[in-house]
Amino acid sequence: MNEPPNSPRTIVLGGGFTGLLAAWHLQGLDHVVEVWEASSTVGGWAQTLPWPGPRGEPGWLERGPQGLRMSRGSAMARLVEELNVTLLAAHPRGPRWLGKGGRRQPSPASLSGWLRAPTLGFRDLLRLLAEPFIPAGTDPDESMYAFFARRLGDGFARELLPALVAGILAAPPERISLAAVPRLRHLEAEGGLLIGGLRAGPSSTRWPEDGVGELTRTLATRMECLHTSRPARTLEPLSGGRWRVRGEGCSAEADHVVLALPSTAAAELLKAAAPMAAGLLKAIPRLDLRVWHSRHPMVKGWERGFGLLIHPSEGRGLLGAVSLTADDPRGVPGLLQVRAYLGGAYQVDPALAAWPGVFRELRRWLPELPEPIQVREDPCPGAFPLLEPGHEGRVATLLEDLPPNLHWLGAERFGPGLPDLAEGIEAWAQEFSPAAR
Ligand SMILES: Cc1cc2nc3c(=O)[nH]c(=O)nc-3n(C[C@H](O)[C@H](O)[C@H](O)COP(=O)(O)OP(=O)(O)OC[C@H]3O[C@@H](n4cnc5c(N)ncnc54)[C@H](O)[C@@H]3O)c2cc1C
């Protein structure tokens, strides 16, 4: 490898979306970068796995995101363009439902949808319309519940929010800090959810032609030095602010080390070098999610895909389900591919421990759903960090405690959404640009 003279050497620990993207930005800033990934494949949760059809037809499933929220001018849009990844979109989308009150209702996926939501009373609707006139909040510790109750009223926060948040972050809105979705605070700073949303311009959910995993696979092909099956075991400070990383039977030294690992793994590595930061990371709860993928004969009317969110008070631990559109290249022609989520911060009824119970519960909300042709479970232990109210303060303390040249990135710092990670990592990498030095 030809190294530019005086280029900083950086080791990135973790080859998920965060680590690969951080490494890619640093390579572009002339760092000599090495990525260490513990498992035999890169991508972490952002992986598209082969799942052949019942007759061996090509087919895939997503471990993590099934789509990406894209808006013009965002870091994600820039990334996709620079990697030259082609995106597909589902237009128009199929039905969206909310399971509440023991029945399926049209789901409010937009402000106009909220206005038609049968669960909201007349007063709640009037309160929704006041949203553009609500001033920006000042409490940095605010929970997701407090934010939405303040902006959209208690009716919305009680009736609709828990299902929306459980479907995205798998936890109750009162237990989640607003820091988990940084976009909300940006929208508020721009005039509110409606005005800020209009100013930010339209966003849509899209995905790369070969699945979301194409992003991490493409990033991996751009890496100058990537080691898989190489877990980092210890981290030692050296003189001059340098660091040594040790793995199993290997070690390397660097000017900078980037921790792009789940909080539990990062805490383990930091416990000698930065015990307070390690303690703060260890204290972040992680949520286990149980995901079931199934393929069924196609249902008339669901060809454009469906989305079902279940109010957590109703679903016995089933948070929701979503299907691919009939023309999605990840699915198998003629079959409906469904993904159902359970657990997170919610207790799962023991009757839903195995597929027959999950299917019975799905049928409660989706009586049209035929018997499956294929079923596969993909347990996601520690899938999401639970960023509790007060998280921003803890992150600030943690960053202050990190020794020089040790960097910490990931879902716990920027929020778990890939677009938020892309935004946060792009901004972080600016620290290393010649203009910032
Ligand atoms: C089921 C599910 C659905 C999701 N849906 C969405 C969605 O719709 N939209 C969205 O934007 N986001 C979604 N996400 C969240 C998103 O996928 C994650 O937040 C994101 O992929 C996290 O990337 P990461 O690189 O920070 O962490 P990870 O993906 O956890 O990657 C960390 C990597 O570090 C490696 N590692 C661990 N220990 C070590 C060690 N000691 N040394 C070296 N390597 C190590 C791991 O093997 C792993 O590859 C979803 C996640 C899940 C699980």
Question: Could you give the domains of the chain?
Answer: 9-45+211-284+387-436 (3.50.50.60), 107-204 (1.10.3110.10)
Given a cut of 90, is residue 120 above it in pLDDT? no
CA of 21 to the centre of ligand 1 (A): 12
Q: Which pLDDT score is estimated for 139?
A: 85
Mean per-residue pLDDT, 126-138: 89
pLDDT band of 204, cuts 50, 70, 90 = confident
Q: How far is the CA of 106 from the centre of ligand 1 (A)?
A: 31
For residue 202, the model assigns a pLDDT of: 74
- Take atom 5 of ligand 1 and give the residue whose Cα is closest: 65
- The model's confidence at residue 30, banded by pLDDT at 50, 70 and 90, is very high
Pocket of ligand 1 (CB under 6 A): 13-19, 36-39, 44-46, 64-65, 231-232, 260-262, 265, 289, 291, 380, 383, 410-411, 416-418
pLDDT in tens, 425-435: 999 999 888 77
The pick from 12, 45, 216, 387 for probing ligand 1's pocket by mutation, whose C-beta has the most ligand atoms within 8 angstroms, reads 45
Expressed in angstroms and rounded, the spacing between residue 192 Cα and the centre of ligand 1 is 30
- Give pLDDT, residue 5: 64
Ligand 1 centroid from CA 62, angstroms: 12
What is the per-residue pLDDT for 437? 63
Q: 89 pLDDT band (50/70/90 cuts)? A: confident
pLDDT for 111? 62
Name the residue with higher pLDDT: 193 or 214: 214
For ligand 1, atom 13: residue with the closest CA: 65
Categorize the per-residue pLDDT at 140 as very low, low, confident or very high, splitting at 50, 70 and 90.
confident
Both structure tokens of 266: 């990062």
The pair of structure tokens assigned to 153 is 């009223």
**What separation in Å is there between the alpha carbon of 52 and the centre of ligand 1?**
24
- pLDDT of 260 > 90? The answer is yes
Amino acid present at 303: E
User: Mean pLDDT, to the nearest integer, of 93-110?
Assistant: 84
Task: Give me ligand 1 centre to Cα 344, in Å.
Answer: 15
User: How many angstroms is it from 46 CA to the middle of ligand 1?
Assistant: 6
The string of pLDDT tens digits covering residues 386-422 is: 999 999 999 999 999 999 999 999 999 999 999 999 9
**Closest Cα to residue 38, out of 64, 16, 7?**
16
Distances, alpha carbon 72 to alpha carbons 81, 415, 427, in Å: 11, 20, 17
pLDDT at 165 over 90: yes
Burial class (CB in 10 A: 0-12, 13-18, 19+), 203: middle
Q: Across the chain, which distance is largest between two alpha carbons, in Å?
A: 68
C-beta of residue 134 within 8 angstroms of C-beta of residue 148: no
Counting from 1 in the atom list of ligand 1, the atom nearest the Cα of 383 is 53
The letter for the amino acid at 266 is A
Q: How far is CA 76 from the centre of its chain?
A: 13
- Specify the ligand 1 atom closest to the Cα of 247: 42
